[in-house]
Structure 1
């Protein structure tokens, strides 16, 4: 069978990262189509032309993840970095 020839147990771990990448792409596509103020799907919205709706653009660009990490340190492991870079004398 063709499935036995092409799909082997060695490639099963590759399905996870590829599936994750496809899922992230699909999520971003849906997010852009549904919430991006510059994307207009319906004919009525396309007829509106260029809108200067800055509050809607601000709402789109400052999403939950960006607001969550706004006040966080940009370090991955700040405790370890501080331990090695700021030794107490």
Structure 2
């Protein structure tokens, strides 16, 4: 009875969007636990205290997504925005 209510084709996009959100959260959690220089999971690493390792922090903060969008304009459709906002285009 419950399977007939929830497994309709209309709810598949909802399942997909929630699954994508859970996947992104899981990816970020794994990234923080495994590569964040301020997170120490094992007892041996926790006893080290505060480390001044700026190179490792720079490597963590400047990941590939930031490097990819660094030179891009912060617009979703720059050509469409330019077409409607630039008065010189006729």
**What SS does structure 2 have at the residue aligned with 1:82?**
helix
CA RMSD, Structure 1 to Structure 2 (Å)? 1.6
State yes or no: 1:72 paired with 2:72: yes
Aligned to 2:13: 13
**Alpha carbons of structure 1 residues 13 and 82: separation in structure 2 relative to 1, 3 Å:** closer
**What SS does structure 2 have at the residue aligned with 1:60?**
helix
Aligned to 2:46: 46
**What SS does structure 1 have at the residue aligned with 2:49?**
coil
State yes or no: 1:87 paired with 2:87: yes
How many residues are treated as equivalent by the alignment?
Answer: 88
Deviation per residue, 1:49-87 (Å, 9 max, x gap): 000111111110110000100000111111111112112
For residue 40 of structure 1, report the CA deviation from its aligned partner. 0.4
The normalised TM-score by structure 2 is 0.87
State the alpha-carbon separation in 2 of the partners of residues 75 and 13 from structure 1.
26
Structure 1 residue runs of 5 or longer lacking an equivalent are none
Structure 2 residue runs of 5 or longer lacking an equivalent are none
Aligned to 2:37: 37
- Which stretches of structure 1, 4 residues or more, deviate above 4 A after TM superposition? none
